[in-house]
Amino acid sequence: MLGPDVAWYIAVAAFLFGIGALGVLIRRNTLVVLLSLELMLNGGNLALIALSRQWHNGAGQIFGLTVMAIAASEVCVGLGLVVALNRRNLSLDVDTLSELRG
């Protein structure tokens, strides 16, 4: 099999996912939170595709494509929300958007 061992791919995927999760947790800007979410999704995608190649099973790649489609839709909605917030001159800080507090 050409290329590095699958463990490397998984390691890179985990690293991407970790960066993304950290970004979601500690950043307050809505745009950056969305970016971080994309990173997490792509980390997951990378793991799916690497394992698909390892086991010679196409299902992982199909999952990868599906996740990309969903990520695109999610970005549409997320960016739409950001634009809407901006139009109303609301803050983009996620900590101030706490309408749902019980």
- Residue number, 37 or 50, with CB nearest to other proteins: 37
Identify the CA nearest to 6 among candidates 62, 61, 49, 57: 49
DSSP per residue, 77-100: HHHHHHHHHHHTT---BTTT--TT
User: Does 97 sit near other proteins (CB under 8 A)?
Assistant: yes
Q: Which two tokens stand for residue 51?
A: 């394992």
Q: Does 102 bind other proteins (CB under 8 A)?
A: yes
Query: Stretches 1-9, 22-30, 52-60, 76-84: which one binds other proteins (CB under 8 A)?
Result: 22-30
Query: At 55, which amino acid appears?
Result: W
Find tokens 């490397």 and name the residue: 8
According to the binding rule CB under 8 A, does residue 94 interact with other proteins? Answer: yes
From 2, 88, 89, 95, residue interacting with other proteins (rule: CB under 8 A): 95
Closest distance of CB 55 from other proteins, Å: 19
Three-class SS of residue 29? Answer: strand
Which residues make up the interface to other proteins (CB under 8 A)?
A: 21, 24-26, 33, 94-95, 97-102
